Amino acid sequence: LTTGALIAQMLVDPVGLILRWYDELQVAQVSLARLVGVRDIEPGAGDAALVPDGRRVRAERVRFGYREGVDVLRTVSLEVAPGTRMALVGPSGAGKSTLGRLLAGIYAPRDGRVTLGDAELSRMAAERVREHVALVNQEHHVFVGSLRDNLRLARADAGDAELWAALGAVDADGWARALDDGLDTEVGSGGLPLTPAQAQQVALARLVLADPHTLVLDEATSLLDPRAARHLERSLARVLDGRTVVAIAHRLHTAHDADVIAVVENGRISELGSHDELVAANGAYAALWRSWHG
C-alpha cells in the first residue's frame, strides 16, 4: 500500500484496514516463509468467489517442504469427516504442525491438494478460508487496542451483547465485567496486562465470534499453571464442541479419545485408526502409549 492509498482506505474503510492488518498478522509465519522462498498463500490472492460446498477436509497426496529439495511431508493423504476429531501424534519434528498448517490453508502444498468440500484451499482467498477453518495456537493473542477492538477482529459488526456472550462462552465474563472500563479497557502492550490465560480466553472468544466449522488446534506446551490450564481446557472443550477438529497432540493423553489418530513419522502417515485399533495393531502408537503409561 502507498501512503496515499493507505490514507484513502483509512477514511473510507477503517475496519477493513484493521482486518487487513489482522490478516497480515495471521500470516506472519507465511511472510517468514516467503523470505526463504516458499510458495505460500498470500492474503488478497485467490478466488474470493470460491466458496466450498461441503465441509470434509481432505489432503490428497500432499508433498511439502519449507525449502525446495527438503521435503517435510511426503505423499500424505487423509480425510477428516465433518464433526469428528482427529489427533496428529508422532515424534518431535515429524511434521505434525506443518501438516496442521496445510490443513488450515496457511501453506499450499508443493504437490497434491488440500480440499475443503469441493474447493481447493490454495485456490480460495485467504480471508474466505478463515471463515471456515481456523488455526488455533498460542501465538499473538492480544493486539494493542480496547478489549472490544480485540474481539471485533473476528467479526467487525458484532454488537456488545454478542461480545459479552462470546466472553461468557469461554468463562471470561467474570474478570471482564470486573474491569472498570469494561469492553473499552485498553489491552495489549501499554494497556492492561492480561494474564496468559486471559489472553487465551480472548483468542477463544474471537473463535466463538468467527464461528469456523473446522479448527486446527496446535496444543503447544502450555505455560499456564495447572489450575488455569484446567479452567482453560474446559472453555476450549466448549468451543470445540460440534466442530471438526484436527488436534496436533504434543501430549498423548489429549489424543487417545479422538475419533481417529494419525501417527506422523518422518513426513508420512504411518498409522491411522482409533486408540483401540492402534493399540491392538501393536505398532508405533502402541509403543508410544506403553512408554507414556510406563
How is 65-86 classified by DSSP, letter by letter?
Answer: -SBTTB-SEEEEEEEE-TT-EE
Q: Which stretch binds ligand ATP (CB under 6 A): 52-60, 95-103, 123-131, 237-245?
A: 95-103
Q: What is the CA radius of gyration of the chain?
A: 20
95 lines the binding site for ligand ATP (CB under 6 A): yes
Report yes or no: 44 and 126 within 8 Å, Cβ to Cβ.
yes
With CB under 6 A as the contact rule, the residue among 44, 93, 159, 193 that binds ligand ATP is 93
Minimum gap (Å) between residue 95 Cβ and ligand ATP: 4
137 lines the binding site for ligand ATP (CB under 6 A): no
- Using CB under 6 A as the criterion, what x/- string covers residues 216-255 for binding ligand ATP? ----------------------------------x-----
CA-based end-to-end distance of the chain: 57
The three-state secondary structure class of 153 is coil
Among 172, 170, 148, smallest CA distance to 159 is for 148
Q: How many residues bind ligand ATP (CB under 6 A)?
A: 12
HSE value, Cβ hemisphere, 13 Å, CA-based, for 248 = 26
Q: 66 or 143, CB closer to ligand ATP?
A: 66
128 lines the binding site for ligand ATP (CB under 6 A): no
Q: 58 or 250, CB closer to ligand ATP?
A: 250
Give residues with Cβ within 8 angstroms of 241, minimum separation 6. Answer: none
Report yes or no: 66 and 234 within 8 Å, Cβ to Cβ.
no
92 lines the binding site for ligand ATP (CB under 6 A): yes
Site for ligand ATP in 31-70 (CB under 6 A): 33, 66
Minimum gap (Å) between residue 183 Cβ and ligand ATP: 35
Minimum gap (Å) between residue 29 Cβ and ligand ATP: 6
Q: Which stretch binds ligand ATP (CB under 6 A): 1-9, 86-94, 111-119, 153-161?
A: 86-94
Q: Is 18 exposed, middle or buried (0-12, 13-18, 19+ CB in 10 A)?
A: middle
The three-state secondary structure class of 113 is strand
Report yes or no: 155 and 52 within 8 Å, Cβ to Cβ.
no
Among 208, 226, 214, 119, smallest CA distance to 170 is for 208
Minimum gap (Å) between residue 215 Cβ and ligand ATP: 17
Q: 203 or 248, CB closer to ligand ATP?
A: 248
C-alpha cell at 81: 469427516
94 lines the binding site for ligand ATP (CB under 6 A): yes
Quote the CA–CA distance of 267 and 17 in Å, as a whole number: 38
98 lines the binding site for ligand ATP (CB under 6 A): yes
C-alpha cell at 146: 480496547
Q: 2 or 92, CB closer to ligand ATP?
A: 92
With CB under 6 A as the contact rule, the residue among 30, 41, 72, 239 that binds ligand ATP is 72
Q: Which stretch binds ligand ATP (CB under 6 A): 90-98, 168-176, 209-217, 225-233?
A: 90-98
The residues that touch ligand ATP, with contacts defined as CB under 6 A, are 33, 66, 72, 90, 92-98, 250
